[in-house]
Amino acid sequence: MKIATWNINSLRVRLPHVLQWLAIHQPDVLALQETKTEDRNFPVAEFAAAGYAVAFSGQPTYNGVALLSRQPMQVFANSIPGFPDPQKRVLGATAGDVAILNLYVPNGQSIDSDKYRYKLEWLSKLAAWIEALQQEHPRLILLGDFNIAPEDRDVYDPRAWQGQVLVSEPEREAFRRLLALGLNDSFRLHEAAGGHYSWWDYRAGGFRLNQGLRIDHILLSQPLAERSLAAFIDREPRGWERPSDHTPVIAELDF
Protein backbone atom coordinates (compact mmCIF):
# COMPACT_ATOMS: atom_id res chain seq x y z
CA MET A 1 0.00 0.00 0.00
CA LYS A 2 1.38 3.39 -1.01
CA ILE A 3 0.00 6.38 0.85
CA ALA A 4 0.97 10.01 0.33
CA THR A 5 0.29 13.51 1.59
CA TRP A 6 0.66 16.82 -0.23
CA ASN A 7 -0.23 20.39 0.66
CA ILE A 8 -1.02 21.64 -2.81
CA ASN A 9 -1.78 25.29 -1.94
CA SER A 10 -4.87 25.59 -4.19
CA LEU A 11 -6.43 22.70 -6.06
CA ARG A 12 -7.83 25.04 -8.69
CA VAL A 13 -4.32 26.15 -9.60
CA ARG A 14 -2.58 22.79 -9.24
CA LEU A 15 -5.09 20.17 -10.36
CA PRO A 16 -2.89 19.38 -13.41
CA HIS A 17 0.05 18.80 -11.05
CA VAL A 18 -1.97 16.43 -8.89
CA LEU A 19 -3.27 14.46 -11.87
CA GLN A 20 0.23 14.25 -13.36
CA TRP A 21 1.67 13.03 -10.05
CA LEU A 22 -1.09 10.44 -9.62
CA ALA A 23 -0.41 9.08 -13.09
CA ILE A 24 3.30 8.74 -12.35
CA HIS A 25 3.17 7.32 -8.81
CA GLN A 26 -0.29 5.71 -8.62
CA PRO A 27 -0.66 5.83 -4.83
CA ASP A 28 -3.44 3.90 -3.16
CA VAL A 29 -4.29 6.96 -1.05
CA LEU A 30 -3.39 10.63 -1.43
CA ALA A 31 -4.26 13.22 1.21
CA LEU A 32 -4.41 16.84 0.07
CA GLN A 33 -4.33 19.99 2.18
CA GLU A 34 -5.03 23.63 1.42
CA THR A 35 -7.37 22.73 -1.40
CA LYS A 36 -9.00 26.17 -1.01
CA THR A 37 -12.03 24.81 -2.89
CA GLU A 38 -15.71 24.85 -2.01
CA ASP A 39 -17.27 21.39 -2.02
CA ARG A 40 -19.57 22.26 -4.94
CA ASN A 41 -16.50 22.99 -7.08
CA PHE A 42 -14.45 19.93 -6.15
CA PRO A 43 -13.23 18.13 -9.33
CA VAL A 44 -14.88 14.79 -8.64
CA ALA A 45 -15.11 13.76 -12.31
CA GLU A 46 -11.42 14.40 -13.00
CA PHE A 47 -10.32 12.21 -10.11
CA ALA A 48 -12.86 9.52 -10.97
CA ALA A 49 -11.41 9.39 -14.47
CA ALA A 50 -7.99 8.85 -12.87
CA GLY A 51 -9.39 5.92 -10.85
CA TYR A 52 -9.95 7.53 -7.46
CA ALA A 53 -12.86 7.80 -5.07
CA VAL A 54 -12.86 11.14 -3.26
CA ALA A 55 -13.89 12.64 0.06
CA PHE A 56 -13.48 16.34 0.75
CA SER A 57 -14.22 19.15 3.15
CA GLY A 58 -13.50 22.58 1.78
CA GLN A 59 -14.04 26.30 1.86
CA PRO A 60 -13.07 29.11 -0.50
CA THR A 61 -9.70 30.88 -0.30
CA TYR A 62 -8.36 29.10 2.80
CA ASN A 63 -7.80 25.64 4.29
CA GLY A 64 -9.62 22.60 2.86
CA VAL A 65 -8.71 18.91 2.97
CA ALA A 66 -9.40 15.97 0.68
CA LEU A 67 -8.72 12.25 0.44
CA LEU A 68 -8.31 10.29 -2.80
CA SER A 69 -8.45 6.51 -2.63
CA ARG A 70 -8.45 3.59 -5.04
CA GLN A 71 -10.78 1.83 -2.58
CA PRO A 72 -14.22 3.05 -1.53
CA MET A 73 -14.08 5.16 1.62
CA GLN A 74 -16.40 5.77 4.54
CA VAL A 75 -16.04 9.22 6.10
CA PHE A 76 -16.12 9.22 9.90
CA ALA A 77 -15.02 12.77 10.79
CA ASN A 78 -14.68 16.28 9.37
CA SER A 79 -13.71 18.01 12.62
CA ILE A 80 -12.17 17.29 16.01
CA PRO A 81 -14.97 16.11 18.31
CA GLY A 82 -15.84 18.66 20.98
CA PHE A 83 -13.86 21.43 19.27
CA PRO A 84 -16.21 23.66 17.27
CA ASP A 85 -14.21 25.15 14.43
CA PRO A 86 -15.44 26.64 11.13
CA GLN A 87 -12.05 26.07 9.52
CA LYS A 88 -11.90 22.98 7.31
CA ARG A 89 -8.79 21.22 8.60
CA VAL A 90 -9.78 17.63 9.37
CA LEU A 91 -11.04 14.71 7.31
CA GLY A 92 -11.17 11.14 8.53
CA ALA A 93 -12.20 8.12 6.48
CA THR A 94 -11.78 4.37 6.49
CA ALA A 95 -10.52 2.42 3.48
CA GLY A 96 -10.93 -1.24 4.25
CA ASP A 97 -9.76 -1.75 7.83
CA VAL A 98 -7.40 1.24 7.79
CA ALA A 99 -8.49 4.56 9.27
CA ILE A 100 -6.91 7.60 7.63
CA LEU A 101 -6.99 11.01 9.27
CA ASN A 102 -5.98 13.90 7.03
CA LEU A 103 -4.90 17.02 8.95
CA TYR A 104 -4.06 20.58 8.07
CA VAL A 105 -2.71 21.78 11.41
CA PRO A 106 -2.94 25.56 11.97
CA ASN A 107 0.20 27.49 11.11
CA GLY A 108 0.22 29.60 14.26
CA GLN A 109 1.55 32.78 12.59
CA SER A 110 3.83 33.87 15.48
CA ILE A 111 4.35 32.73 19.06
CA ASP A 112 2.84 35.91 20.51
CA SER A 113 -0.38 35.68 18.48
CA ASP A 114 -3.90 34.39 19.12
CA LYS A 115 -3.36 32.05 16.16
CA TYR A 116 -0.48 30.39 18.01
CA ARG A 117 -2.64 29.83 21.09
CA TYR A 118 -5.36 28.44 18.84
CA LYS A 119 -2.81 26.06 17.30
CA LEU A 120 -1.72 24.70 20.68
CA GLU A 121 -5.32 24.23 21.80
CA TRP A 122 -6.13 22.52 18.50
CA LEU A 123 -3.21 20.12 18.95
CA SER A 124 -4.20 19.37 22.53
CA LYS A 125 -7.74 18.48 21.47
CA LEU A 126 -6.34 16.38 18.63
CA ALA A 127 -4.15 14.33 20.97
CA ALA A 128 -7.05 13.61 23.32
CA TRP A 129 -9.12 12.44 20.36
CA ILE A 130 -6.35 10.26 18.93
CA GLU A 131 -5.95 8.47 22.23
CA ALA A 132 -9.59 7.38 22.02
CA LEU A 133 -9.58 6.87 18.25
CA GLN A 134 -6.83 4.26 18.38
CA GLN A 135 -9.00 2.06 20.53
CA GLU A 136 -11.60 2.02 17.76
CA HIS A 137 -9.13 1.95 14.86
CA PRO A 138 -5.89 0.14 15.72
CA ARG A 139 -4.77 0.50 12.10
CA LEU A 140 -4.60 4.28 12.09
CA ILE A 141 -2.71 6.73 9.86
CA LEU A 142 -2.39 10.44 10.67
CA LEU A 143 -1.00 12.42 7.80
CA GLY A 144 -0.89 15.90 6.42
CA ASP A 145 0.68 19.30 6.92
CA PHE A 146 1.44 19.42 10.64
CA ASN A 147 3.19 22.79 10.47
CA ILE A 148 5.74 21.45 12.95
CA ALA A 149 9.39 20.60 12.32
CA PRO A 150 9.83 18.02 15.11
CA GLU A 151 13.61 18.30 15.62
CA ASP A 152 16.56 20.47 14.66
CA ARG A 153 17.56 17.96 11.97
CA ASP A 154 14.26 18.87 10.27
CA VAL A 155 15.30 22.53 9.93
CA TYR A 156 17.90 23.88 7.51
CA ASP A 157 19.18 26.46 10.04
CA PRO A 158 18.07 25.62 13.60
CA ARG A 159 19.81 28.65 15.10
CA ALA A 160 18.02 31.09 12.78
CA TRP A 161 14.67 29.40 13.47
CA GLN A 162 15.09 28.94 17.22
CA GLY A 163 11.96 29.89 19.15
CA GLN A 164 9.94 30.68 16.05
CA VAL A 165 6.58 29.29 15.06
CA LEU A 166 6.81 25.80 13.47
CA VAL A 167 9.83 24.91 15.63
CA SER A 168 8.93 26.27 19.08
CA GLU A 169 9.20 23.91 22.03
CA PRO A 170 5.44 23.84 22.83
CA GLU A 171 4.71 22.81 19.24
CA ARG A 172 7.39 20.14 19.31
CA GLU A 173 6.08 18.88 22.63
CA ALA A 174 2.61 18.57 21.07
CA PHE A 175 4.13 16.48 18.27
CA ARG A 176 5.97 14.28 20.79
CA ARG A 177 2.70 13.78 22.63
CA LEU A 178 1.23 12.22 19.49
CA LEU A 179 4.21 9.89 19.19
CA ALA A 180 3.86 8.97 22.86
CA LEU A 181 0.35 7.71 22.11
CA GLY A 182 1.95 4.93 20.06
CA LEU A 183 2.30 6.65 16.69
CA ASN A 184 5.46 6.45 14.61
CA ASP A 185 6.99 9.02 12.27
CA SER A 186 7.18 6.88 9.12
CA PHE A 187 10.00 8.90 7.59
CA ARG A 188 12.21 8.47 10.65
CA LEU A 189 11.64 4.71 10.60
CA HIS A 190 13.83 4.67 7.48
CA GLU A 191 15.95 7.84 7.45
CA ALA A 192 17.95 9.24 10.36
CA ALA A 193 19.85 12.02 8.61
CA GLY A 194 18.89 15.66 8.51
CA GLY A 195 18.67 17.80 5.38
CA HIS A 196 15.39 16.30 4.15
CA TYR A 197 12.58 18.83 3.82
CA SER A 198 8.99 18.96 2.55
CA TRP A 199 8.49 22.74 2.45
CA TRP A 200 10.58 25.58 1.08
CA ASP A 201 9.71 29.26 1.13
CA TYR A 202 8.93 30.75 -2.26
CA ARG A 203 11.21 33.68 -1.42
CA ALA A 204 14.99 34.03 -1.65
CA GLY A 205 15.60 30.84 -3.63
CA GLY A 206 14.59 28.62 -0.74
CA PHE A 207 14.18 25.49 -2.83
CA ARG A 208 17.26 26.04 -4.95
CA LEU A 209 19.35 26.47 -1.79
CA ASN A 210 17.52 23.64 0.02
CA GLN A 211 16.57 26.00 2.83
CA GLY A 212 13.53 24.09 3.99
CA LEU A 213 11.66 22.47 6.84
CA ARG A 214 10.21 18.97 7.23
CA ILE A 215 6.68 19.81 8.36
CA ASP A 216 4.57 17.29 6.38
CA HIS A 217 4.31 13.91 8.07
CA ILE A 218 2.79 10.44 7.92
CA LEU A 219 2.33 8.93 11.37
CA LEU A 220 1.54 5.22 11.71
CA SER A 221 0.00 3.32 14.58
CA GLN A 222 2.18 0.45 15.78
CA PRO A 223 0.44 -2.33 13.78
CA LEU A 224 1.08 -0.33 10.61
CA ALA A 225 4.61 0.74 11.57
CA GLU A 226 5.48 -2.93 11.76
CA ARG A 227 4.49 -3.19 8.09
CA SER A 228 6.43 -0.11 6.95
CA LEU A 229 8.61 -0.82 3.92
CA ALA A 230 9.80 2.65 2.91
CA ALA A 231 9.20 6.37 3.32
CA PHE A 232 10.53 9.25 1.29
CA ILE A 233 10.00 12.81 0.14
CA ASP A 234 9.45 13.42 -3.58
CA ARG A 235 11.18 16.71 -4.36
CA GLU A 236 10.40 16.68 -8.08
CA PRO A 237 7.01 18.51 -8.06
CA ARG A 238 8.55 21.42 -6.14
CA GLY A 239 10.58 22.10 -9.27
CA TRP A 240 7.60 22.16 -11.63
CA GLU A 241 6.20 25.37 -13.10
CA ARG A 242 4.04 27.29 -10.58
CA PRO A 243 4.57 24.68 -7.82
CA SER A 244 3.12 24.43 -4.36
CA ASP A 245 5.60 25.44 -1.69
CA HIS A 246 5.22 21.88 -0.33
CA THR A 247 6.07 18.58 -2.02
CA PRO A 248 4.63 15.06 -1.58
CA VAL A 249 5.64 12.77 1.27
CA ILE A 250 5.12 9.02 0.71
CA ALA A 251 5.01 5.89 2.86
CA GLU A 252 4.84 2.31 1.59
CA LEU A 253 3.31 -0.46 3.68
CA ASP A 254 3.33 -4.23 3.25
CA PHE A 255 -0.29 -5.27 2.93
pLDDT tens across the length of the chain (255 residues): 999 999 999 999 999 999 999 999 999 999 999 999 999 999 999 999 999 999 999 999 999 999 999 999 999 999 999 998 999 999 999 999 999 999 999 999 999 999 999 999 999 999 999 999 999 999 999 999 999 999 999 999 999 999 999 999 999 999 999 999 999 999 999 999 999 999 999 988 999 999 999 999 999 999 999 999 999 999 999 999 999 999 999 999 998
Give the domain range for residue 107.
2-253
Question: What's the pLDDT at 151?
Answer: 98
Question: What's the pLDDT at 65?
Answer: 98
Positions marked catalytic: 104, 145
Q: What is the CATH number of the domain that holds 70?
A: 3.60.10.10
Question: What's the pLDDT at 204?
Answer: 84
Q: Cα–Cα distance between 97 and 1 in angstroms, integer?
A: 13
Q: Cα–Cα distance between 171 and 175 in angstroms, integer?
A: 6
With 0-12 CB in 10 A as exposed, 13-18 as middle and 19+ as buried, what is 106?
buried
How many domains, in total, are found in the chain?
Answer: 1
Q: Cα–Cα distance between 87 and 104 in angstroms, integer?
A: 10
Question: What's the pLDDT at 255?
Answer: 84
Helices (H), the chain: 11-25, 44-49, 114-136, 158-161, 169-180, 222-225
Question: What's the pLDDT at 12?
Answer: 96
Instruction: Report helix angle 114-136 to 169-180, nearest 10.
Output: 0
Question: What's the pLDDT at 85?
Answer: 93
